Chains A and B, each alone.
Chain A
Amino acid sequence: DGGITQSPKYLFRKEGQNVTLSCEQNLNHDAMYWYRQDPGQGLRLIYYSQIVNDFQKGDIAEGYSVSREKKESFPLTVTSAQKNPTAFYLCASSTPGQRVNEQFFGPGTRLTVL
């Protein structure tokens, strides 16, 4: 079935370590997004990519990095520069054109930094 996969579902890391979150989609979507969600809050945009080898910063890009080498994949690295990395991370994708904001979301990765 077509969809977005994120792995792992739960991730634990020690403070000061970089960690990479995986996001893969087989929907043939051009655009992909990373959001962060804190308890009781809405989603905040970290990075988005409209096409392979191109990406733009969202509202809270500091301390994060991304790459888009393949259409299907948009990994997010949480670096040690991110002051408060513990959060729920959501990846999404969409097709270009008029349905660009009908975003399909993955199940999320819950990152806990100890």
Chain B
Amino acid sequence: DAKTTQPPSMDCAEGRAANLPCNHSTISGNEYVYWYRQIHSQGPQYIIHGLKNNETNEMASLIITEDRKSSTLILPHATLRDTAVYYCIVGGNQAGTALIFGKGTTLSVSS
């Protein structure tokens, strides 16, 4: 079973920030939080990951709470092309550890 809980769907207006929440209350000390997204009928795409510090890259920002029990993925200026299923996953970073993809959050960006 997935170790994370995400809302099944969210809506966002184009140009606004999309904030996608994720709960992972059973995360262990050496597990990372990963975010992927999947556009319809394509393979998932890695977005970002973090351990306990906030992270930012060209795609998104990841905010992890101090107790690490939840996190938020932020797309600062959502576009129509950001419409996808977003997966929040916790897992180790050692070779051979498998990622468990749950059902994710379907983000719909509209104009």
Contact = CB atoms under 8 A, between A and B. Distances in A.
Interface string B86-97: 010001111111
A90 interface: yes
B24 to A, nearest CB: 15
A101 B97 contact: yes
Contact of B41 (A31, A35, A44, A108): A108
A99 B97 CA distance: 12
Contacts of A40: 103
Interface residues of B, number: 26
B44 A50 contact: no
B111 interface: no
B78 to A, nearest CB: 22
Nearest to B42: A107
Given A42-B2, A101-B34, A92 B91 contact: no
Contacts of B95: 30-31, 50, 96-97, 100
Interface of A: 4, 30-31, 33, 35, 40-45, 48, 50, 56, 58-59, 88, 90, 92, 96-108, 110
Interface of B: 2, 32, 34, 36, 41-46, 49, 87, 91-104
